[in-house]
Amino acid sequence: MTRPDYAEKIPNNVGLAEDRRLQRALESWQPDFLSWWESMGPALPTQDVYLRTATDVRGEGWATFGHVPMLDYRWGIFLADKNPGRRIAFGAHKGEPAWQKVPGEYRAELQRLIVIQGDTEPASVEQQRNLGATAPSLYDLRNLFQVNVEEGRHLWAMVYLLHAYFGREGRDEAAELLHRNSGSEDSPRILGAFNEETPDWLSFFMFTYFTDRDGKYQLGTLKESAFDPLSRTCEFMLKEEAHHMFVGTTGVDRVVGRTAELMREYDTEEVAAHGGIPLDVIQKYINFHYSVSLDLFGSEQSTNAANYFTAGLKGRWQEERRRDDHLLTEDGALVDVVKEGVLTTDEVPALLALNHDLRTEYVKDCQSGMKRWNRVLEQAGIDRRLALPHIGFNRQVGIFSDHHITPAGQVVGADSWQAKESSWLPTEADKAHVRSLMRPVYEPGKIAGWIAPPSNGINGQPFEYEYVHLP
């Protein structure tokens, strides 16, 4: 494995200098990327930001910290170390050597998977573009920018694959990744959740908890891919993705903690009047962002997912730890369905239920956040608890999209749903209140009144550290 060369225009550990044609192609894409970053990336002007930059893929040495002007951040191309003996772990090609080149029969499918993954990366940057103007602290501002630059690097990771392995079509798709924009009427992002607004910091924390967690599981399936460069790319991306989920997990921790403080201080659940976010509103934001993120897993039964698995393009979460034949041709699985107005399950071929299988792993993971946030309430002496809504709640994709299902899991009619919708999902009044709290705090060591400070700073620095230098 080539070590990253930071003297290169594009830092990389894929030996880019040895392929001058590919290097020129990526260097011609780079100005378009920087132009996109300036026009669609973080809108708040900064001098520099205390950022983590990838410098190697090995052990604990893969990142360094320091103040960096955002436009000078060293976006690069990094793949995990190659395993020369790696073999395909599942599907029809199980046991064969992993592919170092794209098989012709799977070219279109692999390209599509890479494009969809690549499209999510700049989309989230665009969604979060204006959040810097309302950051609750310099600590949070820095975390926002860290997430943004790493999403930019993940875009580079997918663009490298498109350029290196898919010829002119790949180069055209790489260009299109910068031409689509989140929420655009003419050229929206491919997946619905990435066209939603992220207008406030509570939404940002929910996005990084729920939607980036979906990203973790999608990357986890691609890490199993028989196409080795894609597998190694996603393996390294997962290291960076962990920080994004940390931002969401601890962000909601701190919002819930501050709300609990205000509830105790004023002996009321109505903390809005005291500059806090009520638990009812936090629950509504959970309901919305969780349900939107569940849609990203697609339909419960999917022939596309079955074909990807059989071909070796996408595996299951932690495929090699599964105790089965990794073929699934004779296996069955239970999936959720609605029959005659009642929630129940049906047994279907396991190959058709792979989206359901992945979503089930995701749901179990999401429960960990509920336990954390409810522990915060318990330790504060608050009896209320937060909960994930039923998986069928507020769904636009899959079997549940044709039904109205309450957070408690009851199938109801349209009239009943509409009558209660405002108690389950954020209303305009809820959103307006949250937005009213979004006033920037840029003084080191200070923080907005609706959120608690973090328990620790970044990379051993104190909370009071000047993480971002503003003009």
Cα gap 91→306, rounded to integer Å: 10
Instruction: Indicate the pLDDT class of residue 55, thresholds 50, 70 and 90.
Output: confident
Cα gap 447→464, rounded to integer Å: 10
Q: What digits encode the pLDDT tens for the residues 105-122?
A: 999 999 999 999 999 999
Pairing of strands 411-412, 468-469: unpaired
Residue 3 has pLDDT above 90, yes or no: no
Nearest to 379 by CA among 256, 278, 266: 256
Nearest to 76 by CA among 122, 26, 124: 26
Q: What's the distance, CA 83 to chain centroid?
A: 27
Q: What digits encode the pLDDT tens for the residues 167-222?
A: 999 999 999 999 999 999 999 999 998 999 899 999 999 999 999 999 999 999 99
Residue 331 has pLDDT above 80, yes or no: yes
Residue 59 has pLDDT above 80, yes or no: no
Cα gap 221→80, rounded to integer Å: 16
Averaged pLDDT for residues 68-88: 93
Averaged pLDDT for residues 395-402: 96
Residue 8 has pLDDT above 80, yes or no: no
Averaged pLDDT for residues 144-157: 97
The per-residue pLDDT for 1 is 45
Q: What digits encode the pLDDT tens for the residues 358-392?
A: 999 999 999 999 999 999 999 999 999 999 999 99
Per DSSP, the three-state class of 410 is coil
Tokens representing residue 449 in the block: 């009144």
The per-residue pLDDT for 7 is 55
What does pTM read for this prediction?
Answer: 0.96
Mean pLDDT for all residues in the chain: 95
Q: What digits encode the pLDDT tens for the residues 407-461?
A: 999 999 999 999 999 999 999 999 999 999 999 999 999 999 999 999 999 999 9
Instruction: Indicate the pLDDT class of residue 62, thresholds 50, 70 and 90.
Output: low
Instruction: Indicate the pLDDT class of residue 56, thresholds 50, 70 and 90.
Output: low
Cα gap 191→152, rounded to integer Å: 18
User: CB of 379 within 8 A of CB of 452?
Assistant: no
The per-residue pLDDT for 346 is 95
The per-residue pLDDT for 391 is 97
Count CA atoms within 13 Å of residue 314 on its CB side. 25
In Å, how far are 31, 79, 167, 287 from 177, measured between CA atoms? 14, 21, 16, 30
Residue 333 has pLDDT above 70, yes or no: yes
The per-residue pLDDT for 5 is 56
